[in-house]
Amino acid sequence: MACVTFSTDSKAEHLYIFQFQLVKQDKEGFTMAIFKQRRGFNIWAISLVALVFGLMTIKEGGTTLFGDEAARTAAGNYVPFVLWFNFVAGFAYVVASVGLWLQQRWAVWLAATIATATAVTFAAFGVHIYSGEAYEMRTVIAMSLRTLIWVVISTVAFQALRRN
């Protein structure tokens, strides 16, 4: 299906996206069917949050990983496996945001996978802290926020897209 255009309804409560699907091909050309998909505010919001969060994560992680020594010094006692996980996960955030925007069911599973992987990484980070290794308190806060955000995104996505 190809996305062609979108518009809002008169109450501006929902966004609509028009999709075309090839139904039949004959001597005269293609016959197309038009489907109108409703996108609620919740999907719109979590898609935007996931996209912005993903782009910010890629930028910040990339700056620390691939930037100069000053960038690494400014990061303080960062934990490499947490930094690499977050950097790579940032790309998954962007993919999930697109899938959620297009209301694809696989995006719900991707969001749940991101939430689970973030929680597992956070637990491993907890073991790192418990073993007495160096860390930054802002990493604890950031991982708490990431875990919470992705649990909320996956829950809202599941509830919104199960109705479709």
Coil, strand, or helix at residue 93?
A: helix
Distance CA 26, CA 32 (A): 11
Q: DSSP 3-state helix, strand, coil percentages of the chain (rounded to 5)?
A: 65, 20, 15
Residue 77: per-residue pLDDT: 95
Domain boundaries, the chain: 2-38, 41-161
- Spell out the residues 6+ positions from residue 17 whose beta carbon is closer than 8 angstroms to its own: 3, 5, 6, 36, 37, 39, 102
- The secondary structure element, H or E, covering residue 61 is helix 41-66
Contact 17, 37 (CB under 8 A): yes
Angle between helices 105-130 and 137-161 (to 10 degrees): 160
**pLDDT at residue 162, as a whole number:** 79
Model confidence, pTM:
0.76
Cα 151 to Cα 113: distance, rounded to the nearest angstrom: 10
Residue partners of 135: CB distance under 8 A and separation at least 6 = 77, 79, 125, 128, 129
Q: What number of other Cβ atoms are within 10 A of residue 126's Cβ? A: 13
Mean pLDDT by 10 residues, the chain (164 residues): 43 44 52 60 95 97 95 94 98 98 96 98 98 96 97 96 70
Q: Record the tokens describing residue 105, joined without a space.
A: 């069911």
